Amino acid sequence: PDSLNPEAFPAKLWLLVNSPRFGSIRWDARGQGLLIDEQPFVSEVLGMGPAGDGGAGGLFKTKSFTSIIRQLNLYGFRKVVKELVVVPRSSAGPGPYGDGSPTWYLHHYYSPHFCRGRPDLLVHLKRLTSAKKAKLVANLELTSRPSGCSQQ
């Protein structure tokens, strides 16, 4: 009964994280979480950068990184506990962002329904609204046993 809306946030996120074109957003080492370099992402995807162009083809209408974070939370993503959020000079190599901006914020988010190589899980990424959350509480959600990434 569920299909993936290609226009909605999960599909856009999936597209970005799997595209080699966007170095600012990628999988973490285990493919179970999302890594985003804030300032490069703003330039590269949201189009606020030096190029001044529209960024990633107008994938998002916003130019605010906070709006991306709000979307992640609305879809149930959580921040990975701060083990290693240090931002050294070259976490992604010298890279294309390199010269004037040696440091930036590295964000690490995850969702049990967002894993590398598992596009079939995307249909479980639901936008959480007050109404839906009320329903979820009422139904107690039998089908949503927390699932690791590599199972099925």
Q: Rule CB under 7 A: which residues touch DNA?
A: 5, 7-9, 12, 60-64, 66-67, 69-71, 73-74, 77-79, 82, 85, 109, 126-133
- Cβ closer to DNA: 15 or 69? 69
Residues forming the site for its own copies (CB under 8 A):
6, 8, 11, 15, 39, 48-50, 52, 54, 57-59, 61-64, 66, 81-86, 99-105
* Residues contacting 50, CB < 8 A, separation 6+: 43
Q: What would the two tokens of residue 101 be?
A: 């901006």
Task: State in angstroms the smallest separation of the CB of 35 from its own copies.
Answer: 16
Which one of its own copies, DNA, none is in contact with 131 (Cβ closer than 5 to 8 A by kind)? Answer: DNA
Q: How far is CA 47 from CA 2, 21, 39, 61, in A?
A: 32, 14, 11, 10
The least distance separating DNA from the CB of residue 71, rounded to whole angstroms, comes to 6
Between vectors from CA 10 to CA 77 and to CA 83, what angle results, nearest 5°?
A: 30
> CB 40 → its own copies: shortest distance, Å?
12
Show the DSSP H helices in 7-150 as ranges.
9-18, 38-44, 65-74, 130-139
